C-alpha cells in the first residue's frame, strides 16, 4: 500500500514508522508543515526524544526507502490507499470550545489532492459527530468526490501514550467507526494489515480491530475513556482535600478501597496535564452541556495547583519574598512536554503571593525554561542547588525520587505534589503530600 500520514508529531511519526515497519512493500509518506521536522525525519533522526524504539526504527526504515517526509500534500496524498490524519485539535481557554483551525487547514489540503479509492482515517480525538458533520462535507466540497462512492471516511482514535506508542499499539484494541459498511470494512482491513496485537485474556473478545458500528460511537468511546479518568481523578482529589482537613492519609484509604474488585479510585495530585485528560472532557462538554459531573471534575482538577500552594502557605505563612523552586515543568515524568502542565498554575499562584519562583526540569535546558518566562534553577543529582525556602514537586521525574534536603539548602518545607520523594531523605524538614493529612517530618 501507499500510506500517507498527516502530521508527524509525537503520535503521527510513530504511527508512520509502524505502518512502514509492517511490510517492506508499503510506501509511507509523512506530511508536516514544519520543515525542520521533515528534514530530521528524512535524515533518519528522531525530532523529539523519549519515544521508545523510535530512533532505531527511523535509522532502519528511512535509509531503506520505506519512509519519507514532505511538506507537500501533492507528493503524499495522490494515489494513496490510505490517509491517516493526526493533526492536533486545540480548545479555546475562554470558551472551552474546540479550535479546528489546524485540522480544517489540513483537511482542505488533503482534500485538494485526494484521488478516488482512498480510505481517509481521522485519529485525532474529536467531539461526537465531527467526522460525519464536519469532515465529510468539507472533503466532498473541496475534492469534488463523494464519500461512500469515491472515497471512504472513518474515525479511529489513537489510544496510546507518548513514550510507549509501539507497545500500546499492540496492547489496546483498535477502534474503528465508519460512515458506511464498506468504509468500515476497508478500515478494518487496513488496520489489520498494519498492526499486530498482543494476546489478552482479560478482554471480552479477541484483541484486534473492533468495529464500533458508527463513527459517532468510536468518537464517544475515546472521549468517554479519557473523561472517565478526569472524573475519577477529580473524585480522588476531592477525597484528598477532605483527608487533609481531617488529618487522614488518603493514599492508605485508596489502597484499602482498591483491594476489592469494585473500586478503582485513581491517585490525587497537584495537577492533571497533557494533551488528553485536561482537553477531551471539554470536547465532550462541547456536545453535552448537561454533563454537570464532568464539568465539576474538570474545575476541581484545574484548581489543584492553587490548592497545593495554599497548603504550603498555611504552614509557612506569607510566601512573599520567599525563594520557591517548582520541580518539574513537564506535565508528567519522563516526558518533555508542557501541554496543560500544572507548572503554569503553580507558578502563577506563587507569583500572586509575591514569591520569587524558580523552575527546574531535568529534560529542559535553562534556556528552554527561560523561554517560558521563568527563572531556571540549577541542580543536578549529587550537587546542591542554591538556597530555597520551599520546594514543590510538580512532575514525577525519576530524578526527584533521589532528591534530599542537602540538595536544597535552607529548605523549610517540601510539598510533594506527586508523592515521588523519599521522606527519609528530608530529615528535619516538614514534607507535605496531596491528601497526606498532616505534614510529616522524618
Q: What is the pLDDT of residues 138-187, one digit of tens each?
A: 999 999 999 999 999 999 999 999 899 999 999 999 999 999 999 999 99
Note whether 318 and 419 are same-domain residues: yes
Note whether 54 and 196 are same-domain residues: yes
pLDDT over 90 (residue 56): yes
Note whether 327 and 208 are same-domain residues: no
Record the cell numbers describing residue 144, joined without a space. 469534488
Output the pTM of the full model. Answer: 0.91
Q: Is residue 263 part of a domain?
A: no
| Overall domain count for the chain | 2
pLDDT over 90 (residue 211): yes
Higher pLDDT, 246 or 90: 246
Note whether 10 and 114 are same-domain residues: yes
Q: Is residue 418 part of a domain?
A: yes
Note whether 83 and 199 are same-domain residues: yes
Q: Is residue 32 part of a domain?
A: yes
Q: Is residue 261 part of a domain?
A: no
Tell me how crowded residue 22 is: count the other CB atoms within 10 A of its CB.
17
User: What does the pLDDT average to over 64-78?
Assistant: 98
Note whether 50 and 171 are same-domain residues: yes
Whole-number pLDDT of residue 285: 95
Note whether 13 and 135 are same-domain residues: yes
Query: Of the candidates 214, 243, 267, which is a domain's last residue?
Result: 214
Note whether 162 and 60 are same-domain residues: yes
At 429, the pLDDT band (50, 70, 90 cuts) reads very high
Note whether 7 and 153 are same-domain residues: yes
Whichever domain contains 129, its CATH number is 3.40.50.720
At 90, the pLDDT band (50, 70, 90 cuts) reads confident
Q: Is residue 259 part of a domain?
A: no
Note whether 437 and 313 are same-domain residues: yes
Q: Is residue 284 part of a domain?
A: no
C-alpha distances out from residue 253 to 266, 272, 308, 440, Å: 11, 21, 20, 17
C-alpha distances out from residue 339 to 37, 275, 335, 346, 397, Å: 19, 6, 11, 14, 16
User: What does the pLDDT average to over 331-356?
Assistant: 96
At 442, the pLDDT band (50, 70, 90 cuts) reads low
pLDDT in tens, 277-314: 999 999 999 999 999 999 999 999 999 999 999 999 99
Record the cell numbers describing residue 255, joined without a space. 489502597
Query: Of the candidates 172, 199, 214, which is a domain's last residue?
Result: 214
C-alpha distances out from residue 214 to 189, 218, 416, Å: 16, 7, 44
Nearest to 415, CA basis, from 436, 397, 385: 436
Query: Of the candidates 196, 214, 232, which is a domain's last residue?
Result: 214
Alpha-carbon distance of 249 to 139, in angstroms, equals 54
Contacts of 177 by beta carbon, 8 Å cutoff, 6+ apart: 131, 154, 155, 156, 184, 211, 212, 213, 214, 215, 216, 217, 218, 219
Contacts of 309 by beta carbon, 8 Å cutoff, 6+ apart: 319, 346, 349, 350, 353, 392
Segments forming the whole domain that contains residue 404: 304-441
Note whether 210 and 311 are same-domain residues: no
Alpha-carbon distance of 72 to 35, in angstroms, equals 10
Q: Is residue 269 part of a domain?
A: no
Whole-number pLDDT of residue 92: 85
Q: Is residue 342 part of a domain?
A: yes
Q: What is the mean pLDDT of the chain?
A: 96
Note whether 321 and 190 are same-domain residues: no
Amino acid at each position: 500500500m501507499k500510506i500517507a500520514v498527516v502530521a508527524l508529531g509525537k503520535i503521527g511519526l510513530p504511527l508512520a514508522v509502524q505502518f512502514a515497519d509492517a511490510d517492506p512493500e508499503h510506501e509511507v509518506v509523512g506530511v508536516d508543515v514544519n520543515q525542520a521536522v521533515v528534514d530530521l525525519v528524512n535524515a533518519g533522526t528522531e525530532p523529539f526524544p523519549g519515544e521508545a524504539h523510535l530512533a532505531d526504527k527511523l535509522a532502519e526504515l528511512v535509509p531503506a526507502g520505506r519512509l519519507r517526509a514532505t511538506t507537500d500534500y501533492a507528493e503524499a496524498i495522490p494515489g494513496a490507499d490510505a490517509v491517516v490524519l493526526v493533526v492536533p485539535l486545540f480548545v479555546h481557554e475562554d470558551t472551552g470550545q474546540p479550535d479546528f483551525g489546524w485540522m480544517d487547514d489540513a483537511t482542505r489540503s488533503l482534500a485538494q489532492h485526494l484521488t478516488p479509492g482512498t480510505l481517509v482515517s481521522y485519529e485525532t480525538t474529536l467531539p461526537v459527530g465531527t467526522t460525519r458533520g464536519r469532515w465529510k462535507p468539507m472533503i466532498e466540497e473541496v475534492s469534488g468526490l463523494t464519500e461512500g462512492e469515491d472515497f471512504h471516511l472513518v474515525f479511529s482514535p489513537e489510544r496510546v501514550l507518548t513514550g510507549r506508542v509501539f507497545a500500546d499499539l499492540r496492547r489496546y484494541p483498535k477502534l474503528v467507526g465508519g460512515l458506511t459498511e464498506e468504509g468500515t470494512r476497508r478500515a478494518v482491513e487496513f488496520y489489520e494489515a498494519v498492526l499486530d496485537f498482543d494476546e489478552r485474556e482479560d478482554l471480552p473478545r479477541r484483541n484486534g480491530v473492533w468495529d464500533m458500528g458508527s463513527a459517532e460511537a468510536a468518537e464517544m468511546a475515546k472521549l468517554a475513556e479519557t473523561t472517565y479518568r478526569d472524573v475519577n481523578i477529580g473524585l480522588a482529589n476531592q477525597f484528598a482535600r477532605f483527608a487533609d482537613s481531617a488529618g487522614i492519609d488518603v493514599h492508605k484509604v485508596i489502597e484499602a478501597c482498591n483491594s476489592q474488585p469494585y473500586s478503582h479510585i485513581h491517585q490525587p495530585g497537584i495537577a492533571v496535564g497533557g494533551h488528553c485528560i485536561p482537553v477531551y472532557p471539554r470536547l465532550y462538554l462541547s456536545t453535552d452541556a448537561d454533563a454537570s459531573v464532568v464539568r465539576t471534575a474538570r474545575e476541581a482538577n484545574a484548581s489543584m495547583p492553587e490548592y497545593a500552594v495554599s497548603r504550603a502557605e498555611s504552614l509557612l505563612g506569607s510566601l512573599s519574598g520567599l525563594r520557591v523552586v517548582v520541580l518539574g515543568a513537564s506535565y508528567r515524568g519522563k516526558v518533555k512536554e508542557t501541554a496543560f502542565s500544572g507548572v503554569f498554575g503553580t507558578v502563577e499562584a506563587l507569583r500572586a503571593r509575591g514569591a520569587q519562583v524558580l523552575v527546574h526540569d531535568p529534560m529542559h535546558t535553562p534556556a528552554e525554561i527561560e523561554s517560558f518566562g521563568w527563572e531556571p534553577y540549577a541542580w543536578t543529582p549529587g550537587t546542591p542547588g542554591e538556597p530555597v525556602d520551599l520546594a514543590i514537586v510538580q512532575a514525577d521525574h525519576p530524578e526527584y525520587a533521589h532528591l534530599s534536603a542537602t540538595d536544597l539548602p535552607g529548605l523549610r518545607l517540601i510539598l510533594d505534589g506527586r508523592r515521588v520523594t523519599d521522606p527519609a531523605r528530608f530529615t528535619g524538614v516538614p514534607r507535605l503530600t496531596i491528601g497526606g493529612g498532616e505534614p510529616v517530618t522524618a
